[in-house]
Structure 1
């Protein structure tokens, strides 16, 4: 439950600093999270990115100031961290459907983003989606050889990118060049190398023997660390898999008695027994401390 309280501290920090330049590290630090983990939790629980929330809150407060005062548009733009009136006008028009000048003349309420309260979610159990309880297991170190791709949490880019990474890996026969394949029907997807700006690496590959040599080209080796993991069975249509990932971070983890440990998340697809896209057989592993 303290996850929601911690994230609320970050929301309150954002609210106090809408008219200041704020970095993701400072926001996450106010909630005692790493920048990447904070962004992932925020997205899973709220449905939008931290950057999107800040942008909407700033534009909402800028619109309020335009309506309630005679401040010049440039001064309002600068107050809410836009470096030019032109940039502010583009963002404002994209959000409200009209320029700041027209908005001021209309003098009526439009759609806006109020401050959100994560404390409202303290007792929430996801009404739209449920998945089985995970099994808490210990896993030994696993060596993966595969291909590394880059994506980002911002604007939900990873939702679009990750299916394409699997497609590229399979369509181009990358798996055919993997050495010492210990489980050829099991494809790993590893989220790792997390960055403060929301960027991360996604490795698609297979388990390999300890002495396997990495092929030339795009291939790399990556060791999944030994440790305690929550193992979730994500069975069903492909379009539900991302919902399952969001459920894990947005509902299960905050309501569990566990903290996420250091290290990568990973998922394992049973290729032989999966039928894309109607019936996937995937296990998702989250490290626990």
Structure 2
């Protein structure tokens, strides 16, 4: 069963539980993914988060409920997961551009584009197959690598990580944090490691270098160590300036590759001596099985 079909099973589960409290772990489990990986795949393929999709679906169904029933606005609010009529009215007006009371009085919906239908990942399968071309990765087996670096926190939601991660590198270099890494063994290579994922989309991004230190003891505040597991990886080469290809990796290549992403961190490696502001020399590694 491919990634698109598995995610569609999760969509079916969401529809069955749309009026219940949103449970990302249970939803992801239906597709056979971890909560974080499910969110990452969903966002890369669709362009918006699972939580945003659930919010849109609930507001769309609440609007239909208002149209097709005589239930009071508070009853509709409670039925679709809002704790008060005031909270529902704010969310509804933010999405539809008018209050529930005014919406109910209108003869037609103000804008059908705001209505979120049940998503069909079969459409994405056919569309992404042709629209998202990328160079095939190199598959290789790596030995374990010990990294010591500075730990930053970011989040998938609202593409926060895409805007923040370049700043992490800049701050790491400008503050010369690399000088606090003991036993630097490859000072020409800067690592960025995405790890310690949480169910709400949060994760750590460690900027650091390879280290020969025997353990992670006596590190300065904010520093941490991680061992990148050995095994099979897909190696993607980044071309151009500031190009982030992870959306294409997770949105197009991985679902169609026949491989599964195994547990463990993604990481990227930049050759700091070969890179310039105009041209990165970076490779991205995704663990596979």
TM-score tier after normalising by the smaller chain length: over 0.9
- Report the CA distance between 1:215 and its aligned residue: 3.3
1:231 aligns with 2:232: no
Number of the residue aligned with 1:202: 205
Q: 1:126 to 1:167 in 2, by over 3 A?
A: farther
Map 1:85-234; keep pairs closer than 5 Å: 85-109=85-109, 110=111, 111-125=114-128, 127-211=130-214, 215-234=219-238
In 2, Cα distance between the equivalents of 1:172 and 1:77? Answer: 50
Number of the residue aligned with 1:84: 84
The runs of at least 4 consecutive aligned structure 1 residues that moved more than 3 Å come to 123-129, 210-215
CA contact (8 A) 1:143 1:221 kept: yes
- Report the CA distance between 1:128 and its aligned residue: 4.7
In 2, Cα distance between the equivalents of 1:230 and 1:237? Answer: 21
The TM-score, its normalising length taken from structure 1, stands at 0.94
Number of the residue aligned with 2:50: 50
Number of the residue aligned with 1:262: 263
Q: Note the residue ranges of structure 2 that are not aligned, 5 or more in a row.
A: none
In 1, Cα distance between the equivalents of 2:128 and 2:105? Answer: 44
Cα RMSD, aligned residues only: 1.5
**CA distances 1:187-208 after superposition (whole Å, capped 9, x unpaired):** 1010111112211111000111
- Report the CA distance between 1:176 and its aligned residue: 2.0
In 1, Cα distance between the equivalents of 2:132 and 2:5? Answer: 23
In 1, Cα distance between the equivalents of 2:122 and 2:132? Answer: 20
In 2, Cα distance between the equivalents of 1:108 and 1:172? Answer: 58
**CA distances 1:98-127 after superposition (whole Å, capped 9, x unpaired):** 111111122322221111100222334455
Q: 1:126 to 1:169 in 2, by over 3 A?
A: farther
> Secondary structure of 1:179's partner?
coil
> Secondary structure of 2:239's partner?
strand
CA contact (8 A) 2:144 2:228 kept: yes
CA contact (8 A) 1:19 1:80 kept: yes
Q: Which moved more, 1:177-186 or 1:26-35?
A: 177-186
> Secondary structure of 1:205's partner?
strand
Number of the residue aligned with 2:67: 67
Number of the residue aligned with 1:251: 252
Q: How many residues get paired?
A: 285
